[in-house]
Structures are given as structure tokens and as C-alpha cells.
Amino acid sequence: MHGAASKPLEWTRRAAQAYNATLARVAEDDPLTALLMRERVERALSLIQLQPSIGTPALRRGERRFPVRNTGHVINYRVLRHAIRIVLWYRARQHMRA
């Protein structure tokens, strides 16, 4: 459902590892919740692709942050010339250092 102008997504290793670890941890307790979380993240990523400026400016220059609804997590991303790079995945209440 992405428009022709939407940019592909790329994850940094750190962000991908954090996201996969979160899904694995949640799946241990409740596989259905992990599935719902993954669907919500995919929906959020689709929104980011369609409207890259949807997130609010993050602490690091050039990055934006987007809270993923009903997950308690946040995606930090950077809009590049030919892609959108996911640079961080973290708990919303987690203290982040720049």
C-alpha cells in the first residue's frame, strides 16, 4: 500500500537487535501479544514511509522519533536521500542518552 514515492526502510544493527530481542522476550510470555506488537510496528513503519515528517524531532540532529501506539516503545529514524533508516528501538520510559 506504499506510494511510488515511499522510501525503503533500513535498520541499523543495533535497532534491529533491540527490536528482535523485544519481540522474543514478549513472545516467551505471550505469543499473541508479540504478534500484535509486530503488526503495530509494521503499521507505524508504513506511516513513517508515507509521511516521513510524522515523527517529532529527536535529541540527535537529523533524527525523528515516533512512539508506536499501544506498545510502550519508540522508533527513532533518520530520513536519508534514498531510504529511511531506523536507528533506535527502545522502551518509551527508558532513559535515553544522546
pLDDT, residue 28, reads 98
**Once rounded to an integer, what is the mean pLDDT over residues 46-73?**
95
One-letter amino acid of 72: G
Fold of 9-91: YaeB-like fold (3.30.2310)
Residue 3 to residue 76: CA distance in whole angstroms: 22
Please tell me the pTM assigned to this model: 0.86
Q: Residue 5: pLDDT band by 50, 70, 90 thresholds? A: low
The 3-state secondary structure of 46-98, one letter per residue = HHHHHCHHHCEECCCCCEEEEEECCCCEEEEEEECCCCEEEEEEEECCCCCCC
Q: For the chain, which residues make up each domain, given as ranges?
A: 9-91
DSSP H or E stretch at residue 22: helix 13-29
Asked if residue 6 has pLDDT above 50, the reply is: yes
Q: What is the pLDDT of residues 10-49, one digit of tens each?
A: 999 999 999 999 999 999 999 999 999 999 999 999 999 9
Q: What is the pLDDT of residues 66-96, one digit of tens each?
A: 999 999 999 999 999 999 999 999 998 865 5
